[in-house]
Amino acid sequence: MGRLGKFQAIVTWEQRKLENCITSSLGGGTPNTTILDYWKGTLPWIQSSDLTLDDLHSYRVNKYITEKAISKSAAKRVPAYSMAIVTRVGVGKVVIPKTDYSTSQDFVSLVGLKAEQNFLLYAVYRILRHLSDNTQGTSIKGITKKNLLESEVVLPANRQEQTMIGRLLSKLDNTIALHERKLELLKELKKAYLQQLFPKNGDKTPRLRFAGFTDNWVQRKLEDILTVSLKRNSDNLFTRKDVLSVSGEYGVVNQIMFQGRSFAGKNLENYHVLQQGGIVYTKSPLKNNPYGIIKANRGKTGIVSTLYAVYQVKDNSIPELINFYFEINSTVNNYLRPLVNKGAKNDMKVRDTDVLKGKIIWSEDLNEQTEIVNLLDRITSLIAVNEHKLDSFCELKQAYLQKLFV
């Protein structure tokens, strides 16, 4: 295992059962929900949905109960700074409330922590993750209280080392939380710009414009901007390494790099060639896009399934702007809905040419198109940078958990 600073030369770590690291444990319960007076108290009553998996330091409180509710049900008053662990619905969630609380029957609370609280919190979190990793592919119903308390914990005998490890991991979690919030704000900013930089239904101009652009946008059919591409991989110039997938979140991506392997068949001759800057319509439903999605290929030229429709962009428009225009779910859904008929197997019944019959409000000024794309690209790049930073911190946390705990 890894060690911190001056403790590297010290080898005294102890192995204990979790039950020997606490004074006692308490279960929970749900007071009668038909007796409203039970739910007008001041004691927080926590349920599994109030916690978030992998967030060890925050939780919501939506319900409060009375002392009478406790006396008339299986609910318990749990002392502040106990550890609340979800052992049934939502297995793996854990937090240490800083006030007295009560829980539903889905929890076991560890009372009287005999080790430094943050260290023990992460030790238990590691136990729960280990249990989850060992049950991949199975339907885990929960953890018994007996199995939880008999779990082995390895901890430094030196309380100061426990404190340093717990503090390190807590600071790392705080950093992760800050980056998550920053990333959320950047995504909200991009969404706001997408809504402001394109005209609403019935409007002839966007609500937000760059200086120097005053002309009205015009209504155009998509066929005024795109043409159907007939280019196929007939000469087998492209191989399985060049097969592209289309993601609602990430756009056009290399299938092997994105999904780990190619799902293409052996014969690729009829696959569509999707040029860099080309447009693809997937003709397959997604959760938020029941009629499929429309994306621009901003990467290398490759090939896509024959189920997709591929288009080229005319000289009057910038491919990237088409990508941003259809990035808002409501926009692409409203555009495709009147054009697409769904089959019995939820497949899209629409010809490639008919996809272009819909109307959009569009800027005919290439300079304005460029300004919009440049702004949205800058925000998109900031999002990507912060996603990479967040991933790095999360990987660092997992590395520490593996090295600092057995």
Contact 43, 184 (CB under 8 A): no
Per-residue pLDDT tens digits for 263-316: 888 899 999 999 999 999 999 999 999 999 999 999 999 999 999 999 999 999
Do 265 and 322 belong together in one domain?
yes
The residue range of the domain holding 345 is 218-362
Do 77 and 132 belong together in one domain?
yes
Give whole-number Cα distances, 369 to 36, 159, 200, 293, 363, in Å: 58, 61, 17, 21, 7
Q: How many domains does the chain have?
A: 3
Rounded-to-5 percentages of helix, strand, coil across the chain: 35, 20, 45
CATH number of the domain within which 185 lies? 1.10.287.1120
Do 135 and 169 belong together in one domain?
no
| Beta-ladder partners of 280 | 295, 310
Do 260 and 281 belong together in one domain?
yes
Residue that terminates a domain, selected from 154, 180, 197: 154
276 vs 163: CA distance, rounded Å: 54
Does position 11 have pLDDT exceeding 90, yes or no? Answer: no
Instruction: With residue 253 as reference, give the H or E element that holds it.
Output: strand 251-254
Query: Residue 103 — φ and ψ, nearest 5°?
Result: -135, 165
Give residue 218's identity as a one-letter amino acid code: V
| Token digits of residue 149 | 């308390």
Do 84 and 120 belong together in one domain?
yes
Do 193 and 329 belong together in one domain?
no
Does position 136 have pLDDT exceeding 50, yes or no? Answer: no
170 vs 40: CA distance, rounded Å: 34
178 vs 173: CA distance, rounded Å: 9
- Quote the distance between the C-alpha of residue 304 and its chain's center: 26
CATH number of the domain within which 80 lies? 3.90.220.20
Per-residue pLDDT tens digits for 323-371: 999 999 999 999 999 999 877 667 778 999 999 999 999 999 999 999 9
Contact 38, 65 (CB under 8 A): yes
Per-residue pLDDT tens digits for 68-98: 999 999 999 999 999 999 998 888 899 999 9
Do 28 and 140 belong together in one domain?
yes
Do 293 and 304 belong together in one domain?
yes
For the segment 239-260, the average pLDDT, to the nearest whole number, is 94
Query: Residue 270 — φ and ψ, nearest 5°?
Result: -90, 0
Does position 135 have pLDDT exceeding 60, yes or no? Answer: no
Do 49 and 178 belong together in one domain?
no
217 vs 6: CA distance, rounded Å: 67
| Token digits of residue 349 | 């019944």
Do 197 and 119 belong together in one domain?
no
110 vs 23: CA distance, rounded Å: 8
126 vs 136: CA distance, rounded Å: 16
- Per-residue b or e along 69-78, where b marks 16 or more CB atoms closer than 10 Å to that residue's CB: bbeebebbeb
Does position 238 have pLDDT exceeding 50, yes or no? Answer: yes
Residue that terminates a domain, selected from 128, 154, 180: 154
391 vs 378: CA distance, rounded Å: 20
Contact 372, 209 (CB under 8 A): no
Q: Where in 157-278 does DSSP place strands (E)?
A: 218-221, 226-228, 244-247, 251-254, 272-274
From 303, 298, 293, select the one nearest 313 (Cα to Cα).
298
Do 201 and 106 belong together in one domain?
no
Do 75 and 50 belong together in one domain?
yes
| Beta-ladder partners of 342 | 348
Contact 174, 397 (CB under 8 A): no
Contact 335, 358 (CB under 8 A): yes
Contact 153, 15 (CB under 8 A): yes
